[in-house]
Each structure stands twice: as structure tokens, then as C-alpha cells.
Chain A
Amino acid sequence: MSGLQHMVAAAGAAFADAHVEADGFRIRYREAGEGPALVHLHGAGGLRLTPAHDLLTRHFRVIAFEMPGFGDSAENTRTETMPQLATTMARAADALGLDRFNLMGTSFGAKTALWLALQQPERVRGLVLEAPAAIRPAGSVSPSGTPEEMARRLYGHPERLPAIVLPDPAVQAKTRALVNRLRGPDRDAEFEARLRQLATPTLVLFGTLDRVIPPEMGRLYKELMPECHLVLVYDAGHAIGAERPEAFTEVVVDFLDRHEAFVISQTETVIHP
């Protein structure tokens, strides 16, 4: 096993499992680290911790929610729309006593995160969108199929990562129904118009080898959102935090710490005598 394969296989080992009651749901979350709170909302495949989560715990109290209806939680037939899911997740943060927090959303969860920020902008210090799926090219298809097929869509270099373990078919079926109901249209004019008003400092990251959402979608967020920064992570696919965890974490930590000033280099080049 390579170093990266070990990191991915062991990801999340330091995280504790817990549940919180919110909005009529019993919501599982995983938590580790100390520092300012960083709330994470996962992608359509459900909660899967990556080496990036581990690295982020060195700087943040990381709270990774499993949104209602994903994983082993009860089937969620109640949530009808993405804004509703965002409201539920904001209440889950309330229930944990989180007033203001950094918010990170991955792929499908990036749209949830954007809605949460639109609904309660005063609560979100900084927003990180990892390969966001909130704006998609026409006819986008979510990854599906065998673990190998999934890996080819999700990773730029599947050969460098451990095999994907899929949830059991019943979990996949209930999750798929939920995702299809909530993901919304590929382009949503009303949603995009609202993004123009969102002043939250936002970092959008795309892997240059993303085969789920073309990285060219990144520029649309940049065009729409007044405080948006776009970073391309070279040689990573859709699952940036799994494929290039150090590169991902380095820029995310710096952005959440310094917001727009993160573009000012602090790299030292002097060789001390």
C-alpha cells in the first residue's frame, strides 16, 4: 500500500461518532479536532471521511454530519427540497450550540451549504465548496455502477487509491431517491440569481481531472458570487480531499484563516545561514 492508500484507508480513525436531534431527525455526526468550528456536508454518496478531514482537525473542530436519509439513518421521505435540507442542517448546528462556523460542502453537499449560507449568511464565516454540483452542465449524470466504475468517475487516478466500498443496495436505493429529489435542475436561474447576493467569503475548488462535474463549472461560481475565489487542484479528480489531501487542506486552511488575503503569499524563500 502506498502512503496515500494508507491515509485514505485509515481516514477518520480519530473521529468520534455521535448523534444530535434536530428538526425531527436523529442526525449522526462525526467529530474531531479543536479550534474554530468547521461543519462539513457530504456528497451524494454519503458521509465518507478522507485524509483531508484528518488534516483539517489540526486547525479546526471538524463536525462532519450525515444528512438525514443517508447512510444507516432512516429513509428520509419528508425533505422535499434542497432549501429544506439546508434548514435542517442549520438546526443541527444550532443543536450543537454552533452559532457561527465555517462551512464546507462537497459536491451535492455544496449546494446544501450554499442554501444554508443564503438562508443564514450571518452564521457562516467562510464557505468552502469542494467540486460543487450546484451548477451542472446539461444532462449531468451522477456516478453510479460498480465500485470500479465509481472509482473511474470519482478519482483522477483510481490506481493510487484503495477500492471503493459501496453501501448495501437498500441504502443506495433510498439515497438515490433522495438525491434525485433534492439535487434540483442542472441550472436553476432563481438559485443563481440569489448567489449574486451572497457576500460570504467562498472558496471553490475543482480537481483538474474531475470526471463528474467539469472543472470549467468553477468559473460560473466566480462570475456569480462577489466574494468567490476559484482554485484548481492539479491532478485531482472529483474527490479532491481523498486524492490530494495535503494540497486541498493547505489552501482551505489558509483561505478560512485569511479569506481574500489568502492570495498574498507567505511562503518564505530565504535560506538561513
Chain B
Amino acid sequence: MKVSFFETGRYVSPPDMPRDWPVPSGAYDPETGAAAYRAMVERLRYVEEIGFDWISLSEHHYSPRILTPSPIVAAANVAALVKNIKIALLGPIVPQSNPVRIAEELAMVDTMAEGRLIVGLLRGTTNEVLTYDLNPSEARERTDEGMELILKAWTEPQPFGWQGRHFQFRTVSIWPRPLQQPHPPTYALGTSAESCEFAARHRLGLGLSYGNFEIMAKSARYYREQCAVHGWEPGADHIIYRANMLLAETDEEAERQLKEGNGQAPFPVREGLREALIKADLRNVAGEKRNANVGGILPTSFIGGPDTVVEQIRRCREMVGAGVLDLSLHPPGSGDIDALMSALELFGRTVLPRIREI
């Protein structure tokens, strides 16, 4: 089992921080932000030292919960300052960006990081459609087309035009191309039938996140079926599972910490808007309809002391088949850095050595 640490920037918010998403930009404190980025680099050096395989970054906007609206910029910084660990961009929100630009920037970072880049491409969480005015009804199609264009931009040696449905370019010919050839290990992220089908068709990995094992297993199964249709069999490393973990010295302590958490989403979208977004953004798990999670609380899949968590990881591996765990250590997105560092230390000492062979 490989293990990745999901780095979110960890901005330390004051108690009176506004709670609705989008959080007013005026509530941002530049010094606190600078401190968060400095701490991020220190933390990632520590994560590397205790033996994590990857660190991961993701694209989220307009709140202190995750301070990497451009994960590619963060990756470039990490690549320069943290020397050996692989950097997983999970990932750029494809439908709301210029796919050619994404291809270029990822190629730059892969080259600067000397081939340490891992790429996940995705449609994005529902509230993100509001950040750059993306029509949710076009998001799925734009994602598929954008991902295909990114792959083509990385691999096509001659200048080409792209006459898309949503993207049109008359001249594409990127420099640099990625250091890893033909391109970095790439994953389509999402539980939907469309993500699974795209990944299978292009021989990419699949990245699953924040569902219970049963739901994730359903998508993973559908993905494997689709890979078989396309004549190949994915390995364990082809499936990433991103989840929250609450690890403590004992099960009782973990349960106590869970209860201590207030159980509320950190920066919820207002109710009326939330309902409108759910209506506008149709989602599915392996083809079965499910409501979008709009700014809601995310489940914690691994809870307990080390023995319990190791067993949960073993069960996850059996059910989902994921070979890479991408972990957010509890409480996700919180500013309680001491608690996070303790959890990291505990994980590195008591869990990591025992899950390598799983």
C-alpha cells in the first residue's frame, strides 16, 4: 500500500471567521497566509521524512479551508523545496480552465520536479462551478473534452488544431513536454460512470474520494469492468482512495476527538443556493444517481487507534482494491496544527510500517 498526504495549506482562522462560502476576501490576513505557506513546506518535509510516498494537492477556491486555488503553483513551490517525495496534483479542475494551459503547466512542473509529478484530472466539487462561472450542465462534457485535449497536447508531436465541442484552438504545440514520457502517471478523479469510462478508455488510473468502502467499491468494480472492455487490467496503483482519517493513541481517544468535533461543515453554501446547485449538478456513482455534496461535511473513513486503523485499511484494500491511500488527517482543514502534527507522527510510527505489505 502506498500512502499520500493530502496537503491543504492549513490557514489558521480566527474564531470570528465568517462561515458562509464564499468567504469574504477581506477576512483574509496576509501574514497568516504567508505563515500557512511556510508551515506547509515544513510539514511536507516532515511528511517526506516519515516515509509517505506522495503528497497531494487539490484545487479549491474562495475559502480558508484549502489554500491552494492554483495547485500547480503550490506544486512548483513544493518541487523546489521538498526534494524527493512524489507530488500528486489531484487535481486541476479541468472544465473551468484552459486545457492547453493545464497541459503546459503540468509539463513544466513535471520537468522542474524531475519527473516526480502525478496528475489527477477532475470535474471539481459542485460549488466550484461558481468560481469561474461554469455552467454545471456543461461541466461533464467540458471535463471529458478537456482531459482528452490535455492528453493530446502532451503526446502529439506536430502542431495541431482542436475543433472541440467546448474548446477550440487552431494551434497547439506545447513546450516543454513532460519529463515523464509519454506523460506523468495520470488519473481520472471521480466515482461517476463517465470518469470510470474515460479512465478505462485512455488507460488511466482512477481516483475515488470521500465515500464509504461500499460506494467506492462499486465505482472501482465498474472501472475494472470498463478496463476489461478496453482490453487491459488495472493494478492496485491504478486506484487512489482519498479519505479522512482520525488517528489517536487509542480507539477511545479517537472516539472522544470525533465527538469533540462539532460535526458541522466548515464553510457551507447557503441553503437556497445549495439546493439550486444540487438540482443543477447531476452526479452519479458508477451510473447510479446520487446528489452532489455541496459544501457538506465529509465522512471520516478511518477512525481509531493504530490497530483499528490498520484493520480498516486492510478491509479497504480488500473491498475497494485501492493501492494508494490519500489521507487527510483529522480534523481536515482545521487550523489545529499541533493536533495534525501529532497525528502525523503517530501515523508514521505506528501505522505506516504495518500497511506496506497490505
Chain A: residues with CB nearer than 8 A to chain B? Answer: 205, 208, 218-219, 222-223, 229-235, 244, 247-248, 250-251, 262-265, 267
Contacts and interface: CB of A to CB of B under 8 A. Distances in A.
Residue among A208, A234, A264, A265 with max Cβ neighbours from chain B (10 Å): A234
A232 B161 CA distance: 6
Q: What's the dominant secondary structure at chain B's contact region?
A: mixed
B158 A251 contact: no
Nearest to B145: A234
A219 B162 contact: no
Contact of A208 (B148, B157, B161, B170): B148
A262 B145 CA distance: 23
B356 interface: no
Contacts of A232: 152, 160-163
Given A219-B156, A263-B170, A263-B171, A234 B149 contact: yes
A231 B163 contact: yes
A36 B315 CA distance: 69
B235 interface: no
User: What are the 8 closest A-B residue pairs judged by CB atoms, nearest first?
Assistant: A231-B161, A219-B158, A263-B170, A234-B164, A222-B158, A233-B163, A230-B160, A247-B163
A234 B163 contact: yes
A235 B159 contact: no
Nearest to B149: A234
Contacts of A247: 163-165
Interface string B147-186: 0110010001111111111011011000000000000000
Contacts of B152: 208, 232
A230 B171 CA distance: 9
A232 B171 CA distance: 11
B47 to A, nearest CB: 39
Interface of B: 145, 148-149, 152, 156-165, 167-168, 170-171
A264 B156 CA distance: 21
12 contacts: A205-B163, A208-B152, A218-B160, A219-B157, A223-B158, A229-B161, A230-B161, A235-B145, A247-B164, A263-B161, A264-B170, A265-B170
A118 B162 CA distance: 27
B6 to A, nearest CB: 32
Nearest to A248: B163
A33 to B, nearest CB: 22
B99 to A, nearest CB: 11
A262 B170 contact: yes
A52 B149 CA distance: 24
B202 to A, nearest CB: 11
A95 B152 CA distance: 44
Contacts of A264: 170
B95 to A, nearest CB: 14
Contacts of A233: 163
Contacts of B159: 222, 230
A104 to B, nearest CB: 16
Given A230-B158, A231-B160, A247-B164, 7 more contacts: A219-B160, A222-B160, A223-B158, A229-B161, A231-B161, A232-B162, A234-B164
Contacts of B163: 205, 231-234, 244, 247-248, 250-251
Residue among B145, B159, B161, B168 with max Cβ neighbours from chain A (10 Å): B161
A27 to B, nearest CB: 32
Nearest to B171: A263
A76 B162 CA distance: 39
A233 B168 CA distance: 10
A136 to B, nearest CB: 18
Contacts of B167: 234
Contacts of A248: 163
A244 B162 CA distance: 13
Contacts of B149: 234
Nearest to A222: B158
B156 A231 contact: no
Nearest to A228: B158
A230 to B, nearest CB: 5
